[in-house]
Amino acid sequence: MPTSTPDPADPVFRLHLGGKMAVASTVPLTSREDLSLAYTPGVARVCEAIAADPDLADDYTWVSHTVAVVTDGSAVLGLGNIGPRAALPVMEGKAVLFKQFAGVDAVPICLDTQDVDEIVATVRALAPSFGGINLEDISAPRCFEVERRLDEALPIPVFHDDQHGTAIVVLAALRNAATLLNRKLGDLRVAVSGAGAAGVAVTKMLVAGGVNPDQVVVCDSRGIIGRHRELTGTKAELAETTNADGRQGDITEALRGADVLVGVSGGQIPEAAVAGMAPGGIVFALANPTPEVHPEVAARHVAVVATGRSDYPNQINNVLAFPGVFRGALDARATRITDGMKVAAADAIANVVAESLTPEAIVPSPLDPRVAPAVAEAVAEAARRDGVARR
């Protein structure tokens, strides 16, 4: 097993030596004429043009294809609050994925603060250098306020991938699983295990995609969320909009008769609880590296199983969503990312494999080259339809 101590023979540490990315020029700099065009005096003319018309920055700088990947290091992978410096390898990795899958340039920004006001102020100050902001690995509930305030303040897309990337791919996977089983989304009873950033976003996205909110039950570490509990913030909103039956209890009660389990909590769910689901069910156990229910255990009781891992079929991976979402938003020069754009992204992901569905293949491979272009096109069209595109 790899350890956290650097070992020159370890391929993980060898790959990361010196970092995973670098800055490269897109123009020649081999002559005095090159310098005069790329820098002084030529660059001053471009600056003057942008000063007169700020929208020209989209055409004459990198902002039309560049995003900031911003974290405070408070909720990194399954490692928790490890801080900004330790989060940097993950942010570099995210940036590499942006470039590889969608041709989007991304810059890791790891902030040495976990204060909401400071994060918002810093990102607002940095925003003129970028065409979009990808928030990453910021813990709940602060992540909700950070995203909301930046979305309101900035004229460019702001997207918290831990929330919406996961939610988009879950909706895509559930669409295809329901199709495979000849079910309708509106008829499914859904239990969501986890009420953090991903759980809240998944719930909202499934409802936006056609799941009946009355048929959704969400659990946190204390059990089922409902009006029987004193709650604030996003959990209070969930209590008002889900669990119409007024169920109380733990995840076992939430799963009794349920058609779908979406696990985004990291907590373990006993096999007996899964056995209580309705026949022909669906389990998405997405905690990584240890799913809430082992896929082989889940498969004893349900028809379709997905995880967040690459060594099992049906990997629910954010990389299916975020590169294409930002590519489409940037191409349309969108001012924000709407629910319609997210649903369009989910539909595009689902459609890539819609003609070849099996219980072991309800979503494309993360390496499928068809995904990002399809998502980008769908997102750009939805941006224009929703009135947030500037071209």
In tens, the pLDDT along 362-371 reads 999 989 999 9
Beta bridge partners of 66: 105
Catalytic residue flag (residue 94): yes
The reply, when asked if residue 162 is annotated as ligand binding, is yes
369/311 same-domain check:
yes
Whether residue 55 is contained in a domain is answered as: yes
119/173 same-domain check:
no
User: Quick check: helix, strand or coil at residue 262?
Assistant: strand
Q: What angle do CA 36, 41, 43 make, to 5 degrees?
A: 90
Whether residue 38 is contained in a domain is answered as: yes
Compute the chain's Rg from CA coordinates: 22
300/383 same-domain check:
yes
Whether residue 3 is contained in a domain is answered as: no
Q: Final residue of a domain: which of 125, 160, 195?
A: 160
> In which domain, by residue range, is 244 found?
161-390
- The DSSP H or E segment spanning 147 is helix 142-153
CATH number at residue 312: 3.40.50.720
221/248 same-domain check:
yes
Here the tokens at position 256 are 């009794």
156/230 same-domain check:
no
The reply, when asked if residue 136 is annotated as ligand binding, is yes
pLDDT band, very low/low/confident/very high, at 2 (cuts 50, 70, 90): very low
Please state the rounded mean pLDDT for residues 65-75: 96
Measured distance CA(347)–CA(134) in Å, rounded: 21
Q: Final residue of a domain: which of 160, 179, 213?
A: 160
289/355 same-domain check:
yes
191/50 same-domain check:
no
pLDDT band, very low/low/confident/very high, at 1 (cuts 50, 70, 90): very low
Here the tokens at position 337 are 């990312």
Task: Name the residue among 277, 367, 290, 375 with its Cα closest to residue 330.
Answer: 375
Task: Name the residue among 337, 73, 113, 27 with its Cα closest to residue 205.
Answer: 337
Q: Final residue of a domain: which of 126, 160, 194?
A: 160
Catalytic residue, from 94, 204, 235, 342: name it.
94
Strand order in the sheet with 66-71: 105-110, 66-71, 132-135, 158-160
Whether residue 286 is contained in a domain is answered as: yes
Please state the rounded mean pLDDT for residues 210-225: 95
Please state the rounded mean pLDDT for residues 135-161: 95
CATH number at residue 64: 3.40.50.10380
132/165 same-domain check:
no
292/328 same-domain check:
yes
40/181 same-domain check:
no
pLDDT band, very low/low/confident/very high, at 378 (cuts 50, 70, 90): very high
Query: Does the pTM exceed 0.75?
Result: yes
Which pLDDT does position 45 carry in this prediction?
Answer: 95
The string of DSSP codes covering 23-61 is ---SS--SSHHHHHHHSTTHHHHHHHHHHH-GGGHHHHS
Please state the rounded mean pLDDT for residues 142-156: 96
Task: Name the residue among 137, 193, 145 with its Cα closest to residue 163.
Answer: 137
154/169 same-domain check:
no
Catalytic residue flag (residue 184): no
231/105 same-domain check:
no
> Residues 85-115: pLDDT tens digits?
999 999 999 999 999 999 999 999 999 999 9
Whether residue 66 is contained in a domain is answered as: yes
Whether residue 2 is contained in a domain is answered as: no
Neighbouring C-beta atoms of residue 1, cutoff 10 Å: 2
Whether residue 1 is contained in a domain is answered as: no
The reply, when asked if residue 288 is annotated as ligand binding, is yes
The reply, when asked if residue 317 is annotated as ligand binding, is yes
High-pLDDT (> 90) share of the chain, %: 88
> Residues 270-308: pLDDT tens digits?
999 999 999 999 999 998 888 999 999 999 999 999 999
Measured distance CA(209)–CA(186) in Å, rounded: 9
Total tally of structural domains belonging to the chain: 2
Angle between the N-to-C axes of helices 322-331 and 339-352, in degrees from 0 to 180, rounded to the nearest 10 = 120
Catalytic residue, from 20, 39, 235, 312: name it.
39
Whether residue 9 is contained in a domain is answered as: no
